[in-house]
Chains A and B, each alone.
Chain A
Amino acid sequence: MIPNALPLSLQDNPRLDQWVAFPAPGRVSVRTGKVELGQGVLTALLQIAAEELDVAPERIDLTSGDTASTPNEGFTAGSLSIQVGGAALRLVTAELRALMLEQAARQLQCDVSRLAVADGAILKEGVPSGLDYWRLAPALDLSQAATGAAPVKAPGQLRLVGQDLPRTDLPAKLGGAPFIQDLAPPDLLHARVLHRPRRGARLEAVDEAGAARLGAVTFHRSGDVVAVIGEDEAEVQAAFTRLRDRARWSGGVELKETDAEAVTLLDRPTAPPRVVERGAPSGAPVVRRLEATYSKPYIAHGSIAPSCGLAKFEEGRLTVWTHAQGVFALRGSIARALGLDPALVHVIHHQGAGCYGHNGADDAAFDAAFVALARPGRTVRVLWTREDELGVAPFGAAMVVKLAAGLDASGRPVDWNIDVFSPSHGGRPGMNGAVNLLTPLSLATPPDDPAPMDLPDAAGGGASRNAFLLYDLPHQKMVHHFITDAPVRTSSMRGLGAFANVFALESFLDEAAEAAGLDPVAYRLSLMSDPRARAVIEEAARMCHWDMSPPDGIARGFAFSRYKNSAAYLALAVELSVEEEVRVSRVWCAVDGGLIVNPDGARNQIEGGVIQALSWTLKEQVRFSEGAVSSSTWETYPILRFSEVPRIETQLIGDPAHPPLGIGEVSQGPTAAAVANGVAAALGARLRHLPLTRERIMAALLEA
């Protein structure tokens, strides 16, 4: 195998001992740079390692996301944990098993073909040989680089991969204390940090004395940042609430109510447009031109737990506990913002509530570090408020997508043009060489961050993610208009640009089918030659009985996408009714993710993604009033509830001979498009701007 074909995680962390160790008889230590975000990734990685090593999963102690001990695998994001991180671990563990067998063959003076591994013990002709991994390990040089050359198991040999191993983290989540919010070392100190209500606002007045009357608290201030600190969390919270509610701010970026509408992005300055073109117009005569503009607003991550960080500063060393997606990048940003040597900063991942992208986790970790430096020797715990979580964490970027296509006489696209308008989807710590943390911007000496940029196409793209279609089109032209001055901070949220792009593209495809007088599923199949894409489209159509008309009062919608055009394939159908609101009653998904490590976990991710995307599609929009974010409670930022979720059926139809493909973000875009297509079928009028609210439906009905 040529070295650059190795998964990126392995290129960056080539040594075997960066991944696996045999610390004590019967125990295997496996390290991963990927972290648990509620998606079940640690269970899947455990399955992969146990499979290729041929040890029981119970023997493995998994360490994840620790700057002192795990490989640096960047961010846990982009549906790459299994596709890249899992692939690396699979090659490493397969190689270790092969090295162990070679070593055993030398010691037993026999051919490797006579040996096998059973739960870490070496069998010779099926009989225990007296050797095992732990006796053999000292004879191996595990500091050597992985070659990636050892064969991984063929599909027919898999025992654990492909099985529904129960989630290893779930038992503690039912009645235990597994979350970062639950950490409470004996030297704990509670703190809350005041965040400014608008970018650039200055703190004019703050009543510390009044707040201190509500409890035994002290304060730490730098620039426009104030922390409230104390031993008793209830007192700290009470004092902080009073302090926050009476703080006076001036200046800064005043948010206008209309800034919350994505279409106002079109009035904002952009970087020079970036044009990427594939193919050329087919030359067939255009008999019909179609054009349409779609949009999605700013969306909040809305984790159910407020972000939390813990930090301790002792003897010049800073230790930080965080639920962020990239501990190494966070270490760099914290060190820079606080003027510390990164070698003296140790960042450890500890899981929090579900994370769907770059939320407040990094910022809360910094807040804890900021206070810890002022209170050396104590572990400081900062918990954000619900208002912070919904109001000052980065938002998923608003987007406008303009589409234009010429169709020939048979309805096939002759040319195809997509214009994408969006602020950054890549504002994570360290990206673009910036610190990219919230609180440092309000410090007495803020870091000198460069202007934001978007994620490059080579990294999967931000606004450009899934801007190109997988269909067989002679020509596709994308123009990326990067909005340089968004009114609010934006960064990566599940699917990045793919959500808006797939919503727009797969809506527009239905519009093209309608213009051509063709059935949407038949139209898609007529444009698609990729056999794996065709298979999921056909399967989803079969599952929902697309060829039969739906019952009275019910409409159906359909959509397809391959996430990033490189991860899993998914086709999805919905059944819905529209009265004043859209009510989605059923959803069918057909997915090809190649080899699926844990099918039940994959279904859970795909179906959870559908429900979350339904919530985005039908309800969610960040709103501004009186100059600031006004949607900072669950009342003003409602999400889908138990009484509103549909039944979902999922078929995983991939061939296990194909390598695993990321599935964690595959269902978002198609969900929005299928719902919009169903709504268009129900109303006879198309809604092109998310969310599909009652107001928009009433307006469309009046126009129709």
Chain B
Amino acid sequence: MDEIALRVNGEDRTARADAGAPLIHVLRNLLDLKATRYGCGQEQCGACMVLLDGKPTFSCTFPAAEAVGREVETAEALVSHPLREAFLELQAGQCGYCLSGILMSAKGLLDRTADPAREEIVAALDPHLCRCGAHERIIGAVALAAARLRGAAA
């Protein structure tokens, strides 16, 4: 076991884990940040997506030790983000299990691109699976959040 010091959602956190343990394990089990979801453990569904220095990263396989010294963002950080508001407003989701990961990829996109075209939103979300078929509302919610953010910036 190693002491792993992380910066998560702007706070310094430490946990004791094997150096090779995946980041999702540290987040969910050791830091009690459970909004990051486990879906496949194989980089194939996107449920576990977090932002690492702003870049969408599959936390199910990413070694926690390699996240040391980098900025980790999880869905817990979006409590009052326009993205979450937009998802609620459009009721973008059914079971909601896919949404945490999708929110993170969407945030990654909106942090880089103020006015994403539909194709850019779709491309950013394509690593994510949604079995309930809430895709269209999700795309709409990301576009709505982008518009709100632009409005706030203007």
B40 closest partner in A (C-beta): A386
B12 in contact (CB, < 8 A):
no
Majority SS at the chain A contact face: loop
Given contacts A304-B39, A305-B97, A612-B131, contact A635 B44 (CB under 8 A): yes
Write the nearest CB–CB distance from B30 to chain A, whole angstroms. Answer: 9
30 A-B pairs within 8 Å (CB atoms) are namely: A38-B97, A38-B132, A40-B94, A166-B88, A170-B96, A173-B96, A174-B84, A174-B99, A174-B100, A175-B75, A175-B78, A177-B35, A179-B97, A234-B29, A237-B41, A304-B39, A304-B45, A305-B38, A306-B39, A306-B40, A354-B94, A386-B39, A601-B91, A604-B137, A607-B133, A611-B135, A635-B44, A642-B122, A643-B123, A648-B136
B123 closest partner in A (C-beta): A643
Q: How many residues of A contact B (CB 8 A)?
A: 61
- One digit per residue, 1 when the CB lies within 8 angstroms of any chain A CB and 0 when it does not, for chain B 88-120 equals 100101111111100100000000000000000
Q: Give every chain B residue within 8 A of A166 (Cβ-Cβ).
A: 88, 91
- One digit per residue, 1 when the CB lies within 8 angstroms of any chain B CB and 0 when it does not, for chain A 199-233 equals 00000000000000000000000000000000011
Residue among A37, A184, A611 with the highest chain B CB neighbour number at 10 A:
A611
Write the nearest CB–CB distance from A12 to chain B, whole angstroms. Answer: 27
Write the nearest CB–CB distance from B105 to chain A, whole angstroms. Answer: 10
Write the nearest CB–CB distance from B104 to chain A, whole angstroms. Answer: 11
Q: Give every chain B residue within 8 A of A304 (Cβ-Cβ).
A: 37, 39, 45, 47, 95, 97-98, 129-131
Q: Give every chain A residue within 8 A of B123 (Cβ-Cβ).
A: 643
Interface residues of A in 17-69 (CB under 8 A from B): 37-40
A606 closest partner in B (C-beta): B133
A667 closest partner in B (C-beta): B133
Contact in complex: A306, B38 (CB < 8 Å):
yes
**In the bound complex, how far is the Cα of B117 from the Cα of A269, in angstroms?**
55
**In the bound complex, how far is the Cα of B131 from the Cα of A354, in angstroms?**
7
- Cross-chain pair count, CB within 8 angstroms: 162
B7 in contact (CB, < 8 A):
no
20 A-B pairs besides A304-B47, A353-B131 with CB distance below 8 A are: A166-B91, A170-B87, A170-B88, A173-B93, A174-B99, A184-B29, A305-B97, A351-B95, A353-B95, A354-B131, A356-B131, A383-B38, A600-B91, A604-B137, A607-B136, A610-B133, A615-B133, A640-B133, A642-B130, A642-B135
Contact in complex: A303, B22 (CB < 8 Å):
no
Q: Give every chain A residue within 8 A of B153 (Cβ-Cβ).
A: none
3 tightest CB-CB pairs across the interface, nearest first? A38-B95, A173-B96, A611-B133
Residue among B45, B133, B138 with the highest chain A CB neighbour number at 10 A:
B133
Interface residues of A in 562-615 (CB under 8 A from B): 600-601, 604-605, 607-612, 615
Given contacts A174-B87, A175-B35, contact A608 B97 (CB under 8 A): no
Interface residues of B in 7-59 (CB under 8 A from A): 17-18, 21-22, 25, 29, 32, 34-35, 37-42, 44-45, 47
Contact in complex: A174, B44 (CB < 8 Å):
no
B3 in contact (CB, < 8 A):
no
Write the nearest CB–CB distance from B116 to chain A, whole angstroms. Answer: 13
B134 in contact (CB, < 8 A):
yes
Q: Give every chain B residue within 8 A of A648 (Cβ-Cβ).
A: 136
Spell out A's residues near B (CB within 8 Å).
37-40, 164, 166-167, 169-171, 173-179, 181-182, 184, 232-235, 237, 302-306, 351-356, 383, 385-386, 600-601, 604-605, 607-612, 615, 633-635, 639-643, 645, 647-648
Q: Give every chain A residue within 8 A of B29 (Cβ-Cβ).
A: 184, 232-234
**In the bound complex, how far is the Cα of B75 from the Cα of A85, in angstroms?**
35
A323 closest partner in B (C-beta): B95
Contact in complex: B76, A175 (CB < 8 Å):
yes
Contact in complex: A633, B44 (CB < 8 Å):
yes
Contact in complex: B94, A175 (CB < 8 Å):
no
Given contacts A177-B34, A605-B94, A608-B94, contact A643 B122 (CB under 8 A): yes
**In the bound complex, how far is the Cα of B21 from the Cα of A164, in angstroms?**
44
B125 in contact (CB, < 8 A):
yes
Among A174, A608, A647, the residue within 8 A (CB) of B78 is A174
**In the bound complex, how far is the Cα of B78 from the Cα of A648, in angstroms?**
29
Contact in complex: B132, A354 (CB < 8 Å):
yes
**In the bound complex, how far is the Cα of B100 from the Cα of A302, in angstroms?**
18
**In the bound complex, how far is the Cα of B94 from the Cα of A611, in angstroms?**
13
Contact in complex: A386, B136 (CB < 8 Å):
no
**In the bound complex, how far is the Cα of B139 from the Cα of A643, in angstroms?**
11
Q: Give every chain B residue within 8 A of A233 (Cβ-Cβ).
A: 25, 29
Q: Give every chain B residue within 8 A of A356 (Cβ-Cβ).
A: 131
Write the nearest CB–CB distance from A418 to chain B, whole angstroms. Answer: 29
Q: Give every chain B residue within 8 A of A633 (Cβ-Cβ).
A: 40, 42, 44
Contact in complex: B93, A639 (CB < 8 Å):
no
Q: Give every chain A residue within 8 A of B38 (Cβ-Cβ).
A: 181, 305-306, 383
B66 in contact (CB, < 8 A):
no
Band of interface residues on B? 35 or more
**In the bound complex, how far is the Cα of B29 from the Cα of A639, in angstroms?**
30
**In the bound complex, how far is the Cα of B27 from the Cα of A72, in angstroms?**
38
Q: Give every chain B residue within 8 A of A175 (Cβ-Cβ).
A: 35, 75-76, 78-79, 84, 100, 103
**In the bound complex, how far is the Cα of B133 from the Cα of A647, in angstroms?**
12
Write the nearest CB–CB distance from A358 to chain B, whole angstroms. Answer: 15
Contact in complex: B126, A39 (CB < 8 Å):
no
Among A167, A302, A385, A642, the residue within 8 A (CB) of B126 is A642
Q: Give every chain B residue within 8 A of A181 (Cβ-Cβ).
A: 37-38
Write the nearest CB–CB distance from B8 to chain A, whole angstroms. Answer: 14
Contact in complex: B75, A385 (CB < 8 Å):
no
Q: Give every chain A residue within 8 A of B96 (Cβ-Cβ).
A: 38, 169-170, 173-174, 178
Q: Give every chain B residue within 8 A of A642 (Cβ-Cβ).
A: 122, 125-126, 128, 130, 135, 138-139
A178 closest partner in B (C-beta): B96
B97 closest partner in A (C-beta): A353
Q: Give every chain B residue within 8 A of A354 (Cβ-Cβ).
A: 94-95, 97, 131-132
Q: Give every chain B residue within 8 A of A607 (Cβ-Cβ).
A: 133, 136
**In the bound complex, how far is the Cα of B40 from the Cα of A74, in angstroms?**
31
Write the nearest CB–CB distance from A631 to chain B, whole angstroms. Answer: 13
Among A237, A306, A609, the residue within 8 A (CB) of B133 is A609
**In the bound complex, how far is the Cα of B35 from the Cα of A74, in angstroms?**
31
Write the nearest CB–CB distance from A299 to chain B, whole angstroms. Answer: 12
**In the bound complex, how far is the Cα of B92 from the Cα of A600, in angstroms?**
11
B103 closest partner in A (C-beta): A174
B119 closest partner in A (C-beta): A643
A167 closest partner in B (C-beta): B91
A600 closest partner in B (C-beta): B91
Q: Give every chain B residue within 8 A of A640 (Cβ-Cβ).
A: 133
**In the bound complex, how far is the Cα of B126 from the Cα of A170, in angstroms?**
22
**In the bound complex, how far is the Cα of B47 from the Cα of A470, in angstroms?**
41
Contact in complex: A176, B35 (CB < 8 Å):
yes
Given contacts A234-B21, A234-B22, A633-B42, contact A171 B132 (CB under 8 A): no
Residue among A39, A175, A178, A608 with the highest chain B CB neighbour number at 10 A:
A175
Given contacts A304-B47, A386-B42, A634-B40, contact A173 B99 (CB under 8 A): yes
**In the bound complex, how far is the Cα of B29 from the Cα of A405, in angstroms?**
61
B47 closest partner in A (C-beta): A304
Q: Give every chain B residue within 8 A of A611 (Cβ-Cβ).
A: 133, 135-136
Q: Give every chain A residue within 8 A of B95 (Cβ-Cβ).
A: 37-38, 173, 304, 351-355
**In the bound complex, how far is the Cα of B92 from the Cα of A171, in angstroms?**
11
Interface residues of B in 65-82 (CB under 8 A from A): 75-76, 78-79
Q: Give every chain A residue within 8 A of B25 (Cβ-Cβ).
A: 233-234
Q: Give every chain A residue within 8 A of B88 (Cβ-Cβ).
A: 166, 170-171, 174
Q: Give every chain A residue within 8 A of B132 (Cβ-Cβ).
A: 38, 354, 608, 612
Residue among B42, B76, B128, B139 with the highest chain A CB neighbour number at 10 A:
B42
Q: Give every chain B residue within 8 A of A40 (Cβ-Cβ).
A: 94
